[in-house]
Structure 1
Amino acid sequence: MASATPTAAAAPLTRDQVVPSRRRIKLPPWLEVAKPRLIPLLLATTLGGMALSEGWPLSSPRLACTLGGGALASAAAGVLNCLWEQELDGRMQRTSGRALPSGRLSPTAAFAGAVSCTLAAATLLVSGVNCLAAGLSLLGLCSYVLLYTALLKPRTTQNIVIGGVAGAIPPLVGAAAATGHVGLSGWWLFALVMVWTPAHFWALALLLRDDYRAVGIPMLPVVKGPIVTARAIRRYGWATALLSLLGVVALPEGGVLYGLLVIPFNGRLLQMVEHLAQDPSSSERAKGLFRWSILYLFGICLLLILSRQSDAALLDAQVRGWMLMLTGGFSGTSA
């Protein structure tokens, strides 16, 4: 009797399969190293930080300078990250075709581009916004390159937990641009992005753990395995959902609308982290969570902006009026 042929193990997903647009759009080398696909989400959280501030909405010139400076600083950080990891990228099949390890862009040209972007970002933010916004933006750049890329990533499974501070700084930049200081609301969005980051990134790391293992990067899925990673994602997913509810009080106005609309976002997030916890080895569930987590953070920032519209403020006033009426009614009944 012939034995059954064993089913071949599915090949691990590549980053191109996780983010299909990477295959459709071929960027020139000088733009590729700037990692432009990461910039829109960073700018969205910058806008979220602005929307949480009393200075919202900003004037068009200040808004343009803030977003332009933030984009340039992010581009500089991306280039410096590629320079630092050039040798590492060359040893990984997934990244060996990138501009620097493949030789399509020289390190000298890349470094010159990073310096130019940094100087342009600082000039734009100092002259068009304020020194605090410029300083915070440069702090984000340095924390990504030095704290995360150089110090934490090759040394600890908690690299993204601590190094996530780099991606959480844009809301502070937005708050500083709007008011000249960072209030508690800005720090709330900073904390939310910090808590959101591990679940988002570890979902991707589950898909790419073979690549990280091959070059000795101690990502959590490599060191602890999918089960422990899925449990950690679950914890951070719940923490993200709970912390997001504080946006109701973080907003100067419009918190009621935000509170109503954030519920389905959190419901979907929790559903996906629970599904992954039930089957940590599922590439499809990890991929789905990774993609949704991006939409989730975009959605939170959009809700913050929508909640600052005049209609949202009117809804707040109406709800407060109803609550006062109910409170008065109960007081009268008890009397």
Structure 2
Amino acid sequence: MVNIVKGANLKKLSILVILLISVTCLTFAFMPASAVSHAETDGTYQLGTYRVKNNVSLDVYTRLLNGTEIKLFEIPSTYYFDVTEIDGDVFYIKYNGLDDLYVKDASNFVSLTDADKEPLGGFTIELSLSSDASFYVKGRSGFTTKTLTPAEAPAITFIGKGEYDGTSCIYVRCGGEYGYIPTSCLKTKDGGVAMTDYIIDLHPNYRPTVVPDKNVETKAADPNKLTRIILIVGIVVPALVIVLLLFKPSKKGRYDYDRNSTMNDYGASPYDRPRSRYRDDYDDGRRRDDYRRDRRPDDDYDDGYYDNRRY
């Protein structure tokens, strides 16, 4: 009996483990791809588009003709770049139209996920001069200096934040040339916000969701998310029901008879012990004769009197 009980419990436990494993596997299978970053996979990288992680920036380097490495600028958080070549721990990239660049800190960028939607690219904005400024033009061998005035300066496009000779600068494209202009001399073309006060916002894919106006029609829910929710609920709820049914204690009826319990608690009943054919005949005869015994209530008859009369 003990072995049967143990076997039943082991069977229940096995079914429970299988259900838990199934639910866990299916939950991970329907988990959004954004939950797993590139850096948390097998550590291998391929050519393609990558994104800078949240709350960090990515340093971008280049080399002059003499082989000197210089840091040009930073790619801001959540913006994108293309890896065009990989040489060990060095990733050659293309960003905002420039392709003579490379990055080295792979821990600061990740591969794309479902949240990364077009258009994918770097941060850029049109700028203008707020005062006369020095323009440090990058050449193959180093930098040369020009002076720009607000009235004569050509179009200026933001590439990235950087530093030149200890001064905070913006690396820009200006009149077909690339180089640094001091941050204090620049402002946004639209709005005139000084670049010293300007805060680069996250990429539109990662900006906080704006609460919609009640008068504006709300965007339809993502069908993929609804499908995942329905599938997960459809798997988890039945699994929990099965587990509850397996471990729900059985209720015995008021008059249920447990022979084993009776024998263990009170000893074996003479009516429950195994009998042979001859033993059954003997017991039946004794019971029949017992009913014919006439026990009189008065004192004239012995209490042990046996009436052997046949009727």
TM range (shorter): under 0.3
More helix by share: 1
Give the structure-2-normalised TM-score: 0.26
Give the structure-1-normalised TM-score: 0.25
Which protein is bigger by CA-based radius of gyration? 2
